[in-house]
Structures are given as structure tokens and as C-alpha cells.
């Protein structure tokens, strides 16, 4: 069934597990994620992100993702990840996404606040939820020192939530997008401080490549949603390499991709503690 973030994250926060967001840019990924969620009876968040649209246009992807969510036996949120422009966020809502993230984290504080507030007002009219970001989750190719300046502070988080009315908040505590070059060091103390300061479900971006312990600790300390994309790409790539080596034809490689992606998703759901929570 198609639901929004509030329908799954409040329960997750209360029961101390996290729901995974898995971005799906094609139907191979979509099938892998849905099958994993149904088999493990786990709630799940599906979506795509604005920077991924060159690899799967929104109008093309949306109908299949939304139909899959509605048909699913478990709660599925269809989320527009890292919305960067007002136009694309509106398009996602009009196409039927049940949730959007507006990422104004690279803009100045006042602009981020004002634009997020506007999107929240409109999204709520659609019955959709909104995730915002304060502080800035950078890219893994940047050094740790550069990331540290962008960590979310508890004061900022509280003020931002009060001013915008977001339903979930992405926090910057040391994780980053993409493939990590060295082991990331998460600031768990900062996470605890933010958790104590606000009631809104918190989101960890840049989940691919974090250790099992990182997940267990962050979920225990209040993360209710974890974003994963890179790990699904790596699983798919492994299938393509093995398919080539084994001389499989295109359709067999396709099915191997679905299998490996599904396995990668199931592994994450077990770590996040969302198994059996649907």
C-alpha cells in the first residue's frame, strides 16, 4: 500500500528501528526492492532523486514505482529524494509521490527555511510528507575536515523544524554520499544531542559503505530512516560482471541483477531492524 513518511517513521522511531530508502532508477531495482520488502514483511521507502533523473526520467519512472507501491502487501512510501528545484518537487507531487525531500542545504539558511516552508505547505495539501536537511551531507570524495564544518547542530535542527514544519529531518553527522575512500567517523554524540532536542524522525544519508556497527549504533540512538543507493548499484554491477564472465545473455543478466539487488536490500533491512514490522 502507498503511504507517506509519517505512516512508517513514527512507529520506527518509537520501536527503535529504521526504514530503508532505496532509490530505484529502473524496474530491475524496483523489483529487487519490492520483493525484498514483501519477503521480509518490512516497510520500505522507494524513490528517485533529482540528480538521478538523467538516468530515468521522472515521468517514465513514477507510474511504475507508484503502481508497485499501491500493489505491494507492505507499506511503501514513494519519496522524491534530494529535490533541488521547486518545479521538480511539484512535478513529483502531481505524479503521485507520497513524499518529497527538499534539499536547500547548499543555500543560505534563510533561503533554505523559506523555500522548505513553502514546499511543506503545498505537500501537506497533497497529503504528502516532507523531509528537509539542515547542516549539509556532503560527498564522500570530500575530506573529513571539510565535512565537519557542515555537521548539524541541535539548535539549528530545532529552529529549522519549528520554522518549516518538516515531517523528517536529514542530519549531517559524518556520513557522505557515494563510495567512501576511507572509513567514515560518525559523530554519535552529536546525534544524541539532536535527538534530545527534537521529536521529529531523523534521517541518515550516505548509508552505503557504513559498517554494521555504525547502523546499529545510529538506529539505537535515534535514526529512523537510512538512505541507500550506492550499494544497490554495486550489487547490480557485480551481477553484470559475473554475467559477462559466465557468458549469460541479456535477460539472464537482468534477472541476476534483480537477485543481487534484492539480497543487498534484505541485508540492510535486517541490519535496520525493520524485518517483520510491516
- Which amino acids are annotated catalytic? 81
* Number of residue whose CB is nearest Zn ion: 205
Residue 46's DSSP bridge partners are 22, 78
- Distance of alpha carbon 213 from alpha carbon 204, whole angstroms: 14
Q: Total binding residues for Zn ion by CB under 5 A? A: 1
At 198, phi and psi to the nearest 5?
-135, 160
Residue with Cβ nearer Zn ion (205 or 254): 205
The reply to whether 79 sits near Zn ion by the rule CB under 5 A is no
Q: Which of 205, 254, 257, 268 binds Zn ion (CB under 5 A)?
A: 205
Residues 6-45: x/- map of binding to Zn ion (CB under 5 A)?
----------------------------------------
**Which candidate, 181, 158, 176, places its Cα nearest to that of 214?**
176
- Residue 229's contacts (CB-CB under 8 Å, 6 or more residues apart) are 22, 23, 49, 52, 208
Among the listed ranges 6-14, 51-59, 158-166, 204-212, the one in contact with Zn ion (CB under 5 A) is 204-212
Backbone dihedral region for residue 228 (phi beyond 0: left; psi -120 to 50: alpha; all else: beta): beta
89-106 b/e (C-beta count within 10 Å ≥ 16 → b)? bbbbbebbbbbbbbbbbe
Residue with Cβ nearer Zn ion (190 or 205): 205
Residue with Cβ nearer Zn ion (164 or 256): 164
Report the nearest approach of Zn ion to the CB of residue 133 (Å). 8
Residue with Cβ nearer Zn ion (230 or 278): 230
Report the nearest approach of Zn ion to the CB of residue 227 (Å). 5
What grid cell was written down for 81?
A: 529524494
Report the nearest approach of Zn ion to the CB of residue 122 (Å). 22
Report the nearest approach of Zn ion to the CB of residue 175 (Å). 9
- Distance of alpha carbon 141 from alpha carbon 143, whole angstroms: 7
Contacts to Zn ion by CB under 5 A: 205
Amino acid at each position: 500500500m502507498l503511504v507517506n513518511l509519517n505512516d512508517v517513521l513514527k512507529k520506527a522511531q518509537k520501536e527503535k528501528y529504521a526504514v530503508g530508502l532505496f532509490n530505484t532508477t529502473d524496474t530491475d531495482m524496483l523489483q529487487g526492492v519490492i520483493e525484498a520488502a514483501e519477503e521480509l514483511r518490512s516497510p520500505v521507502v522507494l524513490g528517485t532523486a533529482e540528480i538521478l533523473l538523467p538516468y530515468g526520467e521522472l515521468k517514465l519512472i513514477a507510474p511504475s514505482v507508484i503502481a508497485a507501491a499501491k500493489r505491494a502487501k507492505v507499506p511503501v512510501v514513494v519519496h522524491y529524494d534530494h529535490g533541488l528545484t521547486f518545479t521538480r518537487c511539484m512535478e513529483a507531487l502531481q505524479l503521485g509521490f507520497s513524499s518529497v525531500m527538499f534539499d536547500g542545504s547548499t543555500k543560505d539558511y534563510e533561503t533554505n527555511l523559506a523555500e522548505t516552508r513553502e514546499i511543506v505547505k503545498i505537500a501537506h495539501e497533497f497529503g504528502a510528507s516532507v523531509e528537509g536537511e539542515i547542516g549539509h551531507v556532503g560527498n564522500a570524495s570530500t575530506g573529513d575536515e571539510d565535512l565537519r564544518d557542515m555537521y548539524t547542530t541541535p539548535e539549528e535542527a530545532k529552529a529549522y523544524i519549528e520554522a518549516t514544519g518538516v515531517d523528517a529531518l536529514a542530519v549531517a553527522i559524518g556520513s557522505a554520499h557515494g563510495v567512501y575512500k576511507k572509513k567514515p567517523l560518525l559523530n554519535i554524540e552529536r546525534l544524541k544531542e539532536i535527538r534530545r532536542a527534537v521529536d521529529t524522525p531523523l534521517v541518515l544519508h550516505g548509508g552505503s559503505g557504513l559498517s554494521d556497527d555504525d547502523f546499529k549504533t545510529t538506529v539505537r540512538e535515534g535514526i529512523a530512516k537510512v538512505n541507500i543507493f550506492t550499494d544497490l548499484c554495486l550489487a547490480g554491477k557485480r551481477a553484470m560482471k559475473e554475467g559477462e564472465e559466465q557468458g549469460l545473455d541479456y535477460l539472464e543478466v537482468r534477472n541476476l541483477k534483480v537477485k543481487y539487488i534484492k539480497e543487498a536490500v534484505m541485508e540492510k533491512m535486517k541490519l535496520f531492524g525493520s524485518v517483520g514490522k510491516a
